[in-house]
Structure 1
Amino acid sequence: MYVKKYRSNSLKGKLRVCRYLLDNPDTKRLVPNTVSFSNKNLTKMSEKYKSLYIKPDIGSQGIGIFKLIRVSTGYDLFSIQKKEQKRQHFSNLPSLFQYLAAHIQKKMIIQQGISLAKTNGRPYDIRVMVQRKPKGAWTCTGLLVKVGRPKKIVTNHYQGGKVITMDTLLKQMGLSLDRRKARIRHLSDKGVTVSRVLSAKKSGMYEMGIDFAYDNHHRIWILEVNSNHPQFFPLKKVDLSAYKRIRSFARSYGRFDD
């Protein structure tokens, strides 16, 4: 388990972060419905949404994540074990809950599934890196796009996803230069807003990696906020200037890895 060796406080717990964001009018519409894991909540959420994510409240790299899809014959449950994705079918919720309860060892959350927008047939989300130097203002220092493999339940590179620049994505979408600039500015502004809201809840925070996604109706959502050692090394190969900018900010608060 990674032990942070530099000064930048973090907010631990996805459910806690979601509640803070829901409490603020500037961010509440960005948050998918998220509740603690229980039999009652699983029943309610599975009735309301066709797909759900069941995640560790504290965790990263796609480890320990389940995706639940309601189908005509019951429920399909997808899980990640190391780098392999596994599918199981359950005819009813009681048997599904019994299985999950037996295989879950951590505090978990249940989150509304978002149908991610796609590029070249592959789902993607967008990591917005937001940082501040000591006594400085929050600044968006870089963006990267994580493109998932077809039918994979997560997009990150640990599970076979690839990283491209935001500009590459927007060119693939056929957007004009002005619209590309506007989209990047919009995401950057949202990232700074999120960082301000969360850092008001805890002092001494200097970095956040915020995962945004657009759904099939072009609505923007926050999938996750990582304030505990968000990684930026994937940018080194695709956007060296952004990588160096993030690294420069990181050095200011004592972080010397990427």
Structure 2
Amino acid sequence: MSVKRYASTTIRGKQKVCRYMRGDSRVRSLVPHTMSFSKEHLFSMMERHPVLYIKPDIGSLGIGIFRLKRGKGGGYRLKEIVGKTQKSRRFTQLSDVYQAIVSARRSRLIIQQGIPLSKVGGRAYDIRAMVQRKPDGPWVCTGFMVKIAGSGKIVTNYYQGGKIVSLGSLHEQLGLTEEAGASRKAKLTSAALDIARCLSKRRSGMSELGIDFAFDSGGKLWVLEVNSNHPQFHPLRSIDPGAYQKMKSFAASYGRFNAK
């Protein structure tokens, strides 16, 4: 008996995903300012935003990400993720920052506006929404997991020392009322489904997306990244078994039997 193959197409490249979302009026306001990496774009973006993230256009696990921040007394602080290590350097000139990034990069990069993420316990967090569908069925938001950054880290990834908790646990730690938590969850669900509909119009055959959202310090919702290639949800196995089993069941329906 033949094994059913993974039946979910992907969209490769963060910049392409951002461009598709920017073209949809329902989700446009969620997308941070994003440009391809070049010296001209680095200078123009730094004029507009105090913090920038420079990321591989195609990448994972937080590897190869830079955070560039304008210093209060002048100059620039550049932090970089190398493997599981975070390095930090200071520069006086932005042109030197550009050269340092060019020397270190291993693939095509994008530049993205840095979002001042909401924090819990003094650490930044973002929220992964899993959106899936059975073949020929509608999109369904099957659950959430929250990634809380490790101490001093510029990314929230589990691989980089981040902590995974359930959405309910996050709301408890933030001291939200049941009503406020439900409102937040509904907002996340609505945005996730809008993004799934937007992107699946651009690429047929999509069956699952892992969408990383964040609230900024003022409460505005942003989309940080959309993962369409085998988005991971295995950390939920121990913290939210019900959501985990639902995601695994949906994944199996389009041939992803090896989902953890």
- For Structure 1 versus Structure 2, the TM-score category normalised by the shorter chain is over 0.9
Match of 2:86? 85
Percent of aligned pairs sharing the same letter? 49
Shift of 1:193: 0.7
Match of 1:53? 53
Superposed, 1:1-258 pairs within 5 Å as: 6-71=6-71, 72-256=73-257, 257-258=259-260
Post-superposition Cα deviations, 1:19-65, rounded to whole Å, max 9, x if no partner, equal 11011110000000000000000000111111100000001110110
- Runs of 4 or more off by more than 2 Å in structure 1? none
Shift of 1:105: 2.4
* TM-score of the superposed pair, with normalisation by structure 2: 0.96
Post-superposition Cα deviations, 1:96-136, rounded to whole Å, max 9, x if no partner, equal 11111122121100000001000011100000000000010
What secondary structure, in the 3-state scheme, does the structure 2 residue paired with 1:200 have? helix
Post-superposition Cα deviations, 1:196-218, rounded to whole Å, max 9, x if no partner, equal 00000000000000000000110
Following the alignment from structure 1 to structure 2, what is the Cα–Cα distance between the partners of residues 37 and 140?
Answer: 33
Q: Runs of 5+ in structure 1 lacking a partner?
A: none
* TM-score of the superposed pair, with normalisation by structure 1: 0.97
Shift of 1:150: 2.5
What secondary structure, in the 3-state scheme, does the structure 2 residue paired with 1:167 have? helix
Which letter does structure 1 place at the counterpart of 2:20?
Y
Following the alignment from structure 1 to structure 2, what is the Cα–Cα distance between the partners of residues 146 and 22?
Answer: 25
Following the alignment from structure 2 to structure 1, what is the Cα–Cα distance between the partners of residues 74 and 193?
Answer: 44
What secondary structure, in the 3-state scheme, does the structure 1 residue paired with 2:202 have? coil
Which letter does structure 1 place at the counterpart of 2:218?
H
Following the alignment from structure 1 to structure 2, what is the Cα–Cα distance between the partners of residues 34 and 135?
Answer: 33
Following the alignment from structure 1 to structure 2, what is the Cα–Cα distance between the partners of residues 103 and 120?
Answer: 33
Following the alignment from structure 2 to structure 1, what is the Cα–Cα distance between the partners of residues 180 and 52?
Answer: 32
Shift of 1:81: 1.3
Shift of 1:73: 2.9
Following the alignment from structure 2 to structure 1, what is the Cα–Cα distance between the partners of residues 178 and 52?
Answer: 36
Following the alignment from structure 1 to structure 2, what is the Cα–Cα distance between the partners of residues 133 and 213?
Answer: 27
Following the alignment from structure 1 to structure 2, what is the Cα–Cα distance between the partners of residues 83 and 105?
Answer: 16
Q: Runs of 5+ in structure 2 lacking a partner?
A: none
Contact kept, 8 Å, 2:77 with 2:90, in 1: the verdict is yes
Contact kept, 8 Å, 1:123 with 1:150, in 2: the verdict is no
Contact kept, 8 Å, 2:78 with 2:89, in 1: the verdict is yes
Following the alignment from structure 1 to structure 2, what is the Cα–Cα distance between the partners of residues 112 and 30?
Answer: 12
Which letter does structure 2 place at the counterpart of 1:168?
S
Following the alignment from structure 2 to structure 1, what is the Cα–Cα distance between the partners of residues 202 and 21?
Answer: 10
Q: In the comparison of the two structures, how many residue pairs are matched?
A: 254
What secondary structure, in the 3-state scheme, does the structure 2 residue paired with 1:190 have? helix
Contact kept, 8 Å, 2:63 with 2:84, in 1: the verdict is no
Post-superposition Cα deviations, 1:179-230, rounded to whole Å, max 9, x if no partner, equal 2122111111110110000000000000000000000110000000000110
Following the alignment from structure 1 to structure 2, what is the Cα–Cα distance between the partners of residues 37 and 43?
Answer: 10
Q: CA RMSD in A?
A: 0.9
Which letter does structure 2 place at the counterpart of 1:204?
G
Which letter does structure 2 place at the counterpart of 1:21?
M
